[in-house]
Chains A and B, each alone.
Chain A
Amino acid sequence: MIAIVAFFSFPLAAHAEGETIKGTLEKIDGDVREPVAGVTVTVESDGAEIGSAVSDAEGNWEVPVPGPGSYLVRLEVDTLPEGVALTDPERSELPNLTVRDNQQKTARFNLGPGLVTGNVSTLERILERFVIGLKLGAIIAMASIGLSLVFGVTGLVNFSHGELVTMGAVIAYFFHLSPLGPGWPLIVAAIPAILATAAFGWLNETALWRPLRRRRAGLISMLVISIGLSFAIRNVINIMFGGEPRTYADFAVQQPITFLGVRTVPKNLVIIGLSVAVLIGVGLFLQRTKTGIAMRAVADNRDLAESSGIDAERVILITWVVGAGLAGLGGVLEGASETVQWDMGFKLLLLIFAAVVLGGLGTAFGAMVGAFVVGVVIEMSTLWIDPNVKNAVALAVLVVMLLVRPQGLLGTKERIG
């Protein structure tokens, strides 16, 4: 039984004394070992810098950390002296170093003789960031269409939409890597992930939102219910999946290629290409098919749509299924591009909100435009500001947009009321 005093503490990460991450940098050239001094090693947690250290004359470095947990340790490659390089250039970061209570954890970097790659020009850096921004925008677009369309047809801002993204990524992980799963390649595992998320969207609508609408629940209670749902799902995922971030085995490490003069990893290009194809598909669906037109009609004016023979309830259900499936796909892409984590969708939700408000709540095309703008602006901003707070840029976009043009770039005025 836990001591009584422990119950007075506010939920706070245990702050035990004395956890550190340390290591010794040595250049190993055949049988010759020599210490490497003056190299910076940075430790981060959840994207925030914990601290950094410079290796001393013996090659030793040490960074104290605030407590047990998982940390990212990065060797700053540009601080390596001439003639010293990582034997594996991809291993400049150790993403998931777990530190236990009072542990002095050793982080190893293998150094050997070699040349550090030349400096990258500013233009190349801008172009690289631009492509990464497009990739982020593509993922946000996948995730935000559903949120925006559901708002359009039902008037509900679904605060649990981020959890659909997480579900997509986690279910794909199950079919891809889980010891209980079939171990399919990621591309195959993505299919049941998208289907399961779409099915969950169907369940959401039929089991929760439709009955609530029938009971004429107010906007405020629906919003509170959606945020309660978000909290419940997120913690169920945390229990089942665990708190540590994990990566897919496929496409995890890729050699950068040069495409149209921009250096980037192939998966970024694939993600952008795939999303553009899907977005064009969604666009055609909304413009050309009967269901798509009905969807826009219900979003525009439900009563008018119903009086011209459209089954609004059916349209809403289809919107949920399509939107949830897209969010699931977005989750798989985000997982392949970064890591799979229990709260990844919640973190993405802020960017989704920025995108849909920028583009105009309720419009699918607005969400697409907004997503790419937000993605590119966020990634480009890291050229000037600390990358750890890049999401604050999304918040700035959101607030400025609400002040200047609250209906969004493509929205209509009466929605914001």
Chain B
Amino acid sequence: MNWADIFFDGVLAALGPVGAAYALSAIGLNLQFGYGGLLNFGHVAFMMAGAYGTAITVDLGGSLWLGIIVGIACGGLLGLLLGIPTLRLRADYLAIVTISVGEIMRLVARSSFVEPLTGGVFGIQAFANEFFDLNPFSPGARYGWGQFVFQGRALFVSLVGWALVGIGLLITWKLIRSPWGRVVRAVREDEDAARSLGKNVFFYKLQALMLGGAFGALAGALLAIEQQNVNPNSFEPKVTFFLYVIVIVGGAGTIIGPVVGALTFQFLLFFFDSFMSSAQQQGWFNWAGFDATDAAQVKLVLVGVGLMALMAFRPQGLFGSREEMLIGDR
């Protein structure tokens, strides 16, 4: 058991491109769930819209930058399409429709009749060369100190990703302090009160859903660019659950929450994963008959249990404030 390796596995995962993409996606979910009180159980669908929007645009001959814009627009559009039938109804209906869409979009992208567009199960590859042409680091070289090392390629994606997260935080901060943000929070706290003041509650919810969806789509595009690959299997429902844990751990309805949550979650997830993997190799779980796959899946069980425990005992997250997060008391 090499604790240093395990520790750095966690640190590098937290600061790496996936950590940044999760933080960016969580900013979107935080707008929807944390500030708007909207139960979007299919956030992965928005990420998928962004990733596929980007890749398909490039595949059809557009530039990558146009692709990213199309991807973000797809995320917003998906929010519009999901919001219209559900946002006038009780909170559960949005949850029901989004969880269904998260699963169905993956099935449709895999199916043979859209294969000319999406590449079916094989997906689309190598569409982000324009992005990597801008890489100032040499892709294969290693940057860092000791075990804290990034390859040039990953370092570039991470820096861009965290820069986008910074911009996202700035936008959130501006929005939430604006009159728009106050109305959205008022709608979360008491819909009828907001309505009695003449606010069109439905439109505010729809805007929050679309805006959050656009952030999710940008995160999806970032992940797709990092991989140079979009594939339906990357967008499993579990990503949505990861994002919920991230948002709640960091403190739903706080500006910085998604970043704190993403760093904490990615670190813990990969620290634990690395620990379980070496423990399994050393035969700690032979009594239970665990193979490497089983050992890796234990972390998913903990994600589920963690989500329940957080929501039941500490809905404001590790660092959030109770006053902002009254969701548990409604």
Contacts and interface: CB of A to CB of B under 8 A. Distances in A.
Q: Are A and B part of the same complex? A: yes
Interface of A: 1-2, 4-5, 7-13, 15, 45-50, 66, 157, 159, 212, 216-221, 223-225, 227-236, 238-239, 243, 346-347, 349-350, 353-354, 357, 361, 386, 388-389, 391-392, 394-395, 398-399, 402-403, 406, 415-417
Interface residues of B, number: 81
A416 B89 contact: yes
Contacts of A238: 297, 300
Interface of A is mostly: helix
Contacts of A7: 9, 12-13, 16, 270
Interface in B157-204: none
B18 A235 contact: no
Contacts of A9: 18, 227
Contacts of B274: 1-2
B138 interface: no
Nearest to A392: B104
B241 interface: yes
B99 interface: yes
29 contacts: A4-B9, A7-B270, A8-B13, A8-B16, A10-B223, A48-B111, A157-B92, A216-B329, A219-B330, A221-B311, A223-B91, A224-B248, A228-B244, A231-B241, A232-B304, A236-B301, A238-B297, A239-B294, A346-B103, A347-B103, A350-B103, A386-B112, A388-B110, A388-B111, A389-B107, A392-B108, A394-B100, A402-B86, A416-B89
Contacts of A47: 107
A245 to B, nearest CB: 16
A399 B97 contact: yes
Contact of B327 (A15, A159, A218, A417): A218
A227 B241 contact: yes
B91 to A, nearest CB: 6
Nearest to A151: B92
Contacts of B244: 224, 227-228
B120 interface: yes
Contacts of B89: 402, 406, 416-417
A8 B306 CA distance: 23
A159 to B, nearest CB: 7
Contacts of A10: 18, 21, 223, 226-227, 234
Interface string B54-90: 0000000000000000000000000000001110111
B37, B93, B233 pick with most chain A CB within 10 angstroms: B233
Contacts of B327: 218, 220-221
Contact of B227 (A2, A12, A236, A349): A12
Contacts of B18: 8-10
B113 interface: yes
Interface string B227-243: 10101011011110100
Given A10-B223, A48-B110, A229 B308 contact: yes
A66 B312 contact: no
B301 A218 contact: no
Contacts of B305: 228, 232
A230 B110 contact: no
Nearest to A12: B234
A398 B100 contact: yes
Nearest to B149: A4
Contacts of A388: 107, 110-112
A417 B201 CA distance: 13
B122 interface: yes
Contact of B304 (A230, A354, A406): A230
B96 A227 contact: no
B96 A357 contact: yes
Contact of B122 (A66, A233, A349, A391): A66
Contacts of A157: 92, 95-96
A231 B93 CA distance: 19
Interface string B29-41: 0000000010101
Which 7 pairs across A and B sit closest by C-beta, in order of nearness?
A232-B304, A228-B307, A231-B304, A218-B330, A48-B110, A228-B308, A235-B300
Contacts of A225: 307-308, 311-312
Contact of B112 (A49, A66, A217, A233): A49
Interface of B is mostly: helix
A270 B90 CA distance: 38
A398 B96 contact: yes
Contacts of B306: 228
A265 to B, nearest CB: 25
A45 B121 contact: yes
B120 to A, nearest CB: 7
B101 interface: yes
Given A1-B2, A10-B223, A10-B227, A224 B107 contact: no
Given A13-B233, A49-B120, A8 B93 contact: no
B8 interface: yes
Contacts of B283: none
Interface string B293-316: 110011011011111100110010
Nearest to A50: B121
B151 interface: yes
Given A217-B312, A231-B307, A239-B298, A48 B91 contact: no
B5 interface: yes
B75 to A, nearest CB: 17
A354 B96 CA distance: 9
B105 to A, nearest CB: 9
B41, B90, B107 pick with most chain A CB within 10 angstroms: B107
B236 to A, nearest CB: 7
A193 B81 CA distance: 41
A225 B318 CA distance: 17
Given A48-B121, A49-B120, A392-B104, A232 B111 contact: no
B41 to A, nearest CB: 6
A388 B103 CA distance: 13
B91 A219 contact: yes
A83 to B, nearest CB: 30
B151 A220 contact: no
B145 to A, nearest CB: 14
B297 A239 contact: yes
Contacts of A389: 104, 107-108, 111, 113
